[in-house]
Amino acid sequence: MDDEEQLGMPSQAVHAGEMHDPSGAHIDPIHMTSTYVFEDSEAIRAWGAGEVDARVYSRVGHPNREALSKKLAALEGYGMEDKVEAEIFSSGMGAVTAAIMGLAGAGDHLVAQSVLYGTTNHLVTQILPNYQITSSRVPLLNAEGLEQELGANPNTKIVYLETPANPTMSVIDIRETVRIAHAHGASVVVDNTFATPVLQRPLSMGADVVIHSTTKFINGHGTVIGGALASRHPDFIEEGGGALLRYMGAVPSALDCWLTSIGLKTLPLRMREHCSNARALASFLESSDKVGRTYWPGLPSHPQHEVATKQMDDFGAMITIDLGDAISACRFMDALQMSSLAVSLGNVDTLVQHPTSMTHRLMTEEDRLAVGITPGMIRISVGIESPEDIISDFERALEQV
């Protein structure tokens, strides 16, 4: 389609990047091949001389990866004048690692908020120091603390954030972070996994790179582990962090890209249902005397509700509650019937997990408590089942607490 940029977001989710294969197939075929054939030696010469583009080898590129990257770039760059490009990885962690390695090297520094997804936290604190990349943390990347940290570490190349954050649901002010980071010459990298481009588009707020675990809402059906980078700096995708894909080898298969593209087509539709169910469940949970605290950015009681209102179109499907202690959390989980006890998130099914014993178990108890991850916390990824069924599953389980 010639004027895709004129289309609304749901139309772009459906149409952007689709290939319309010469066979006439309406849905893109899955290109399960490792290599591509050259017609003759002249075709090889023309490709080698840079006169023509050619597909050569699936680690370097394949049609399903290209189609998915175009669709995701259209959504992350929705409404923007700058050209946004994306690259697809075989996992969210592949994308996180490539984003950091693409922007920082030995001797550089990274500043992040206090709470991050457990494996990202492990990468930053335990793995990056082996490559002489140091890091420090600023709670909520608050303006004063961030200014101070960047002033003290002029070698900072990256300010890294997750918003809403996993699992505390804290919300970081993207525009304010960009303003301060750019004044100090650092790039801003935003993990947009919880919000998705349907609810929040950090590149349009000045961020440099967006990360996704496409495993989550982007795919939506729990069938694939995948990741992505999007950037408003095409060079970063073509020659920086995006290009690291071929050297690190964290490449997604054609089938994985195809499944993720199919999922992405319904993202705007699914997010509407996810958000509306989350709104109903969050207000039920907040009013329950069995629940100590309910963290959902759409509740006026959320500490960063105002920031969330400024930068998000809706508040997402992730809710965290505090049931007071680990025993209550376990009793609650054991009494659920429809919802599944599982890590991951963003599936059409409601998923429930206990960060202390699951996603954030590699952190010490002391480190968890310091960033607000308590033993009674339960993280909920609200699915698209009937809201009354989700609420009655939770109501029944809370009776055991």
Ligand X SMILES: Cc1ncc(COP(=O)(O)O)c(C=O)c1O
List, by residue number, the catalytic residues: 59, 117, 191, 216
Q: How far is the CB of 165 from ligand X (least distance, A)?
A: 8
Q: How far is the CB of 193 from ligand X (least distance, A)?
A: 4
Residue type, 14: V
Secondary structure class of 196 (helix, strand, coil): helix
Which residue lies nearest ligand X, judged by its C-beta? 92
Among 324, 327, 377, residue whose Cα is nearest residue 354: 377
Q: What separation in angstroms does the CA of 41 have from each of 33, 37, 49, 50? A: 21, 11, 12, 14
Cα–Cα distance between 201 and 279 in angstroms, integer? 21
Q: In the 8-state DSSP scheme, what is residue 35?
A: B
Q: How far is the CB of 167 from ligand X (least distance, A)?
A: 9
Q: Write out the H or E segment, with its range, that includes residue 162.
A: strand 156-162
Cα–Cα distance between 77 and 83 in angstroms, integer? 7
Whole-angstrom distance between the N-terminal and C-terminal Cα of the chain? Answer: 55
Percentages of the chain per state (helix, strand, coil), in multiples of 5 = 40, 15, 45
Q: How far is the CB of 214 from ligand X (least distance, A)?
A: 7
Q: Pairing relation of β-strands 134-137 and 109-112?
A: parallel
Cα–Cα distance between 147 and 138 in angstroms, integer? 10
Q: In the 8-state DSSP scheme, what is residue 374?
A: -
Choose between 181 and 189: whose C-beta lies nearer to ligand X: 189
Choose between 104 and 351: whose C-beta lies nearer to ligand X: 351
Residues that bind ligand X (CB under 6 A): 91-93, 96, 117, 119-120, 162, 166, 191, 193, 213, 215, 225, 227
Q: How far is the CB of 93 from ligand X (least distance, A)?
A: 4
Choose between 153 and 170: whose C-beta lies nearer to ligand X: 170
Q: Within 10 A of 143 (CB to CB), how many other CB atoms are there?
A: 14
